[in-house]
Amino acid sequence: MSIDLYYWPTPNGWKVTIFLEEAGLEYRIVPVNIGRGEQFSETFLKLSPNNRMPAIVDHDSGVSVFESGAILMYLAEKTGRFLAPTGPARVAAMEWLFWQVGGLGPMGGQLGHFRNYAEARIDYAIERYANEYDRLISVLQRRLSCATYLAGDDYSIADMAVWPWVQPHERLGQSLDGYPAVQRWFEAVAARPAVQRGLEAGSELRHAGGLDDEARRILFGQKGRRS
Ligand SMILES: N[C@@H](CCC(=O)N[C@@H](CS)C(=O)NCC(=O)O)C(=O)O
């Protein structure tokens, strides 16, 4: 096996399984059960100091990478696929990749937290993040009204990063009605066999019945750790 993927089946993890499936790279899933605190093991923290998955170890090169955007760039450069080597398509792919990791992902994540997981219902927070997620979907609409894919004519790592955070739109209370270009793109990417395989990868790991009390304490009670 040439690549170990430290993984749990969530949108940030799917970005990497989608790439690996699209490129046909050999990989092995190393489960990181984030609801049981495995992201805090010393072994994992050496690879991913931010105690977040995904991370990869590429045994061909001996390189390890954390942060999904950096992993996508690394894999694109390793394979020469899904990222233009130079020019405007590369710039556009970088723009939308960074837009996802700095915006759509964190905002979607907070919306999911306050809407679907927080024990106390805080309407202000739900509305704040719902508005922001809707705004970001409308930004996608503008882009995809004048480009087939986020980087232009070709499917790229930008689509692989953004799509997993549009995939949960229904659970986030977001409709794509009124955003026809997003809908068109969303369905086109969803129809790709590698995307379907990427979502299927490790899906058996997901907790039946959602988050239990232990997972909530581990995931939602984190503070800084002083040594
Ligand atoms: N910016 C990171 C975010 C990754 C992330 O938030 N991963 C979550 C699951 S989707 C995680 O590992 N959570 C574990 C924790 O909160 O301790 C990336 O894009 O890789």
Q: What is the pLDDT of residue 3?
A: 98
Q: Which atom of ligand 1 is nearest to the CA of 37?
A: 17
Residues whose beta carbon lies within 6 Å of some atom of ligand 1: 10, 12, 34, 39, 51-54, 67-69, 101, 219
208: confidence class by pLDDT, cuts 50, 70, 90: low
> Which residue has the CA at smallest separation from atom 13 of ligand 1?
52
> Which residue has the CA at smallest separation from atom 5 of ligand 1?
52
Contact 79, 25 (CB under 8 A): yes
**Domains within the chain, CATH numbers bracketed:** 3-81+198-220 (3.40.30.10), 87-191 (1.20.1050.10)
* pTM of the predicted model as reported, rounded to 2 decimal places: 0.97
Residues 6+ positions from 141 with CB-CB distance below 8 Å: 179, 180, 181, 182
Q: Which residues pair with 55 in a beta bridge?
A: 6, 66
Q: What is the pLDDT of residue 72?
A: 98
Instruction: Give the mean pLDDT of the chain.
Output: 96
Q: Which residues pair with 181 in a beta bridge?
A: none
